[in-house]
Structures are given as C-alpha cells and as structure tokens.
Amino acid sequence: MADGYMRGFFHYHIAYPQHFLSGAIRFRCTRTSQVDAFLGKNGSVDLIDHHNVPWDITLTRLLTGTRYEPLFDRLQLDGFLSVEKVKQARRLLHTYNPISEQKRRGCLVQHIHEIGQPFVMDLTQPTRICVTAPHSVIPVDLYPIVATSGVLTVRFEPASEDEGDESLVLRVIHEHTPVEYLPHNSHLQMVKGAGVRRFYLPKLDARKDGAWRWVYDDHRPAESAALHCLFHPPCHFPPVVVQPPKSKPLTDTDTA
C-alpha cells in the first residue's frame, strides 16, 4: 500500500469442498477498509507468501495447537465449523500432529487433497506429504534430498491417459530458486514432456531415464494407500455421534 499500511480481511477458504480438512484462514488485501472492497475485483487479492502461493493458517494447524485458539473459536462462533466437523477432523488427526512432525523431521510438510493441487517442494529437504483417508491422515515420504538449492511449485498429474494406469508424476509449475544438485545426483535433469513445454521431476535411479512415477508397491503399504486415496478420494467419512447438550431438569417452579 502507498501509505505503508496493509488493509484487508481474514476469511475462511475451502479449496476442495469434498475435503473439509482443506479449509484455511487467508488474508484478503484490499485498498480500503470498507467491507464492499472484499468482494471487489479492483485491487482485491489474497496475500501470498515468499513461494508465491496464498499465505494461510490451515485447519490442521488450528486443530493441533493452542496458538490459534481465538481464531478457531471465532470460526466456530461464525458457523464455519460445526461440532460434527470438528470431531471428524480431530479423529482424522488423532495420530498426526503437523507441527511436531515438521519440527522432528526438519522438512516441509504438505497436506495434499487432490490430484492437480499445487504445492511447494524444497529439494534440499525430504518431501513429506499427507493425504486424507476415510479414517486417518496418511503421511508418506516421496522424494529424498537431492540438491543443495532448489525450491519448486509442483503438482501431481496422472502419468498417462489410460484410466487403468493409476500412477502419478510430479510436474514442475514454477522454479522459485535454481536447482543445484548434489554431486552424486549430478546426473538428474528435469524431464521434458513429449511435444509440450512442461517439465517433470526425474527418476532417482541413474540407470533409468524418464520422469519419476508414484506407483503401487506391495512393500510400501502406506504410500500405496495414499496413492489410492488420491485417485479415489473418500466422499464419506464415518459418522460422528454428537451428544446433545444436557438439559436442565425441570423443577416445580418451571412447571408451575
């Protein structure tokens, strides 16, 4: 902003409605503090981070820490999060804490809800993603450390148009910092798609050419389960029984 101040509004955004865990608080930058400016197209845009993706506080972070309790309470009061949805989300996350996980591994943890969803990938850190299954969130390691620098925005795409081929490749959408491979990975090069100007992350095996592919593997059940959930997203989650509030017993005064 010209005066050095940033004006705007916090808002709750759900990128993929069928996955309520994709909800996140974002900040909409506006030229004025008037409410009408939030919906206006003239200069109204969501705040982005240094990776050129929308800045947000994800629902998974809201649910797994105390830092954002006031924001979480506000979402409930405003009706964005029902009691049932909160219970479902807590049940899905009962074995996974994204905050402690990120600290423990020192890597960038991404929650992937859909094939085609852009996410940030740092090639200097192990790539760890989380996929929503019907009963839990499945964390999986996909790509190891291969470079001394290199931050990319990528997305999963089907490896082929064959409906029977349920495997994925990683398409590079944007290179934020140049990729400098480690000496023992100097053979790696981005793979160019046939006939189109798009690049994919390469296979890690020096003996093989082509794009890296995420395929079913009987020896890696977690990775295979996560892959299945991306191709067949859970439409329904086990129902949660919400206990009604206990009513105050009637007294003689109440019935008089």
17-55: pLDDT as tens digits: 667 788 899 999 888 777 777 777 666 788 988 777 889
Domain locations in the chain? Answer: 1-94, 95-236
Confidence band for 108, pLDDT divided at 50, 70 and 90: low
Which H or E run contains 23? strand 23-30
How many residues are there in the chain? 256
Of all residues in the chain, the percent with pLDDT exceeding 70 is: 79
In this prediction, what percent of the chain has a pLDDT beyond 90?
Answer: 18
Q: Kindly tell me if the per-residue pLDDT of 67 is higher than 50.
A: yes
CA angle 193, 195, 196 (to 5 degrees): 60
What number is the average pLDDT over the span 92-106? 63
The per-residue b/e assignment along 174-205, b for 16 or more CB within 10 angstroms, e otherwise, is eeeeebebeeebeebeebeeeeeeebbbbeee
The pTM of the whole model exceeds 0.95: no
pLDDT of residue 106: 52
17-21, 209-213, 226-230: lowest mean pLDDT where? 17-21
- 214 pLDDT band, cuts 50/70/90, is very high
